[in-house]
Amino acid sequence: KFAGLEQGKEYLLSSAEDKSAIENALGISLPEVGATEAVLDFTSLLPQLMTNKGATVTSTIEVDVKANNRWASEDATVNRVYTLKCNKPEFSIVTNPGNFWCKEFSVDSCDIKTGDIETISQKIQYQYRKKGDEQWIDCDRLVQFDDYPVDKQYQIRAVYREGIETEPVDVVLETPQQLPNSDMEEWYIEEKKKSGTWPSKDKTYYTFHPYAEGNASSSWWATNNDKAQGGTYALGIWYEGCFASCVSYTEDAHGGTKAALMYLSGCGDGYANTAGTYVGGAMVGSLFIGTYDSGIIQGHDFDSRPTSMSFWYKYKPYNSDAFKVVVSLKNGDREIATGTYEPAASSEEDGEYGHATVDFNYTEPFEKATSICVQFLASNKTSLSQSDFDLGTTITYPVIGDWTVHMGSILKIDDIFLAFDK
């Protein structure tokens, strides 16, 4: 470190060249010849001291003063001796698992507990490696990959000079996931019967489920068809509801052979579907992740954090309307990211499928996800009137044929995709 100074050489304060060599090499200020007082400040010297690859190094500086050709103390044992001990600096990296995404991870900071903070922080080098590898790779605080690494387990550390490094910190990247049945190809048409009380007859009707037959318990997707198809008892008499699914599939698909279809229904909660009269059971058809039990219960376990969700859609508004898509991620009951897609209201029917993207906006970016919520709504309206419906119109379902309904706007959804750009 101080190789510019010759070992064994006597450097004279009275020599401007010697004085400059000492001050420049050691970074200390020396008094002028003839001064009556002197202060030796080693503050600038301390940051330059080094350990021997982490091993403590002890240096001594002995100060003796000579005046009028006589030493102030003829006894060298009472001369001023300064001991400078350079210990291994103590520092560690601070990380948050919330900064470990699918394609990147980062170090929050370096916590320097002992040593010169400014000097050490300027010379810190971060390194990472695949867990189990021997070789470390130099990096910045942020490590980004072009694609999703097959290996998800890494380690990261900070190094200050040879032999002085932090303990490695384990990093586990998230695994990108797609939503099951995101291509909307899996559907099950369930045949049901409602027993009528005399003089009403039994009613056969059909419910469309967004999953394959037998997969109800493992399905992520659900609909509010139970609300649209409900009937009611009054005074021992069964009054038929609409009995038409407000969510089904359509063969007018963007990709594959099926897409989801949902519409604004004029009947629900047991209100009758008379031929030309709008009644009060109006509801917005909805496809969502979760379950339906006397109401929509959103969410399914999910442990990755997407940056956006894209989908293909075709919309047929009745009068003027707009559909709505809502996404969110939660950690327990806490929302950590939300997003909404809601186009401007229109009266024009889409002739072809359009592509849309809704971003996940993270309000809690350091929280891991435990569940995901996605909901498609045939309309963004919260208050409905008779003018929102084409009364007594016909919908032609696949397999089960024509049904008469009060129908408003129609939304078709297909090929849903989650993007993980971090």
What is the average pLDDT across 146-150? 92
**pLDDT value of position 383:** 87
**Over the stretch 45-54, which tens digit does the pLDDT of each residue have?**
877 777 787 7
Identify whether residues 134 and 107 lie together within a single domain: yes
Domain of residue 23, residue span: 16-86
Burial 227-241 (b: 16+ CB within 10 A, else e): bbbbbeeeeeebebb
The Cα–Cα gap between 63 and 57 comes to: 20
Task: Measure CA 190 to chain center.
Answer: 38
Answer whether residue 131 is part of any domain.
yes
**pLDDT value of position 266:** 82
**pLDDT value of position 406:** 86
Answer whether residue 146 is part of any domain.
yes
Q: What is the CATH number of the domain that holds 376?
A: 2.60.120
**Over the stretch 302-358, which tens digit does the pLDDT of each residue have?**
999 999 999 999 999 999 999 999 999 999 999 999 999 999 999 999 999 999 999
Identify whether residues 129 and 199 lie together within a single domain: no
Residue 281: which pLDDT band, with cuts at 50, 70 and 90? confident
Answer whether residue 7 is part of any domain.
no
Domain end call among 60, 86, 112: 86
Residue 415: which pLDDT band, with cuts at 50, 70 and 90? very high
Residue 24: which pLDDT band, with cuts at 50, 70 and 90? confident
Domain end call among 147, 172, 197: 172
Identify whether residues 73 and 104 lie together within a single domain: no
**pLDDT value of position 279:** 60
Identify whether residues 216 and 253 lie together within a single domain: yes
Identify whether residues 106 and 211 lie together within a single domain: no
Burial 243-267 (b: 16+ CB within 10 A, else e): bbbbbbbbeebbeeebbbbbbbbbb
Answer whether residue 408 is part of any domain.
yes
Start-end of H helices in 263-334: none
**Over the stretch 172-200, which tens digit does the pLDDT of each residue have?**
999 999 999 999 999 999 988 776 666 66
Identify whether residues 128 and 146 lie together within a single domain: yes
Residue 67, classified by CB atoms within 10 Å of its CB into exposed (0-12), middle (13-18) or buried (19+), is exposed
Please check the confidence at residue 71 and state whether its pLDDT lies above 80: no
**pLDDT value of position 135:** 94
Identify whether residues 202 and 303 lie together within a single domain: yes
Nearest to residue 346, comparing CAs of 323, 376, 377, 313? Answer: 323
Identify whether residues 123 and 30 lie together within a single domain: no
Q: What is the CATH number of the domain that holds 122?
A: 2.60.40
Residue type, 277: T
What is the average pLDDT across 386-390? 88
Identify whether residues 23 and 69 lie together within a single domain: yes
Please check the confidence at residue 99 and state whether its pLDDT lies above 80: yes
Identify whether residues 354 and 231 lie together within a single domain: yes
What is the average pLDDT across 142-156? 94
The Cα–Cα gap between 135 and 37 comes to: 55
**pLDDT value of position 273:** 54
Answer whether residue 5 is part of any domain.
no
Helix (H) / strand (E) containing 222: strand 221-223
SS3 content of the chain, % helix, strand, coil (to 5): 10, 40, 50
Instruction: Count other C-beta atoms under 10 Å from residue 169's C-beta.
Output: 17
**pLDDT value of position 184:** 97
Nearest to residue 356, comparing CAs of 325, 332, 387, 333? Answer: 325
For the ranges 159-173, 177-191, 257-271, the lowest mean pLDDT is seen at: 257-271
Q: What is the DSSP letter of 268?
A: -
Q: Are 161 and 90 in contact (CB under 8 A)?
A: no
For the ranges 66-80, 99-113, 388-402, the lowest mean pLDDT is seen at: 66-80
Cα angle: 17, vertex 20, 25; to 5 degrees: 125
**Over the stretch 5-17, which tens digit does the pLDDT of each residue have?**
888 888 888 899 9
The Cα–Cα gap between 143 and 145 comes to: 7
Answer whether residue 121 is part of any domain.
yes
The rounded mean pLDDT for the chain is 87
Answer whether residue 120 is part of any domain.
yes
What is the average pLDDT across 25-29? 82
User: Which residues, 6 or more positions from 134, have their beta carbon under 8 angstroms from its beta carbon?
Assistant: none
Answer whether residue 103 is part of any domain.
yes
Q: What is the DSSP letter of 64?
A: -
Nearest to residue 178, comparing CAs of 360, 365, 361, 416? Answer: 416
Identify whether residues 151 and 265 lie together within a single domain: no
224, two tokens: 């509010």
Q: Are 355 and 312 in contact (CB under 8 A)?
A: yes
Identify whether residues 376 and 293 lie together within a single domain: yes
| Number of structural domains found in the chain | 3
Domain end call among 63, 86, 109: 86
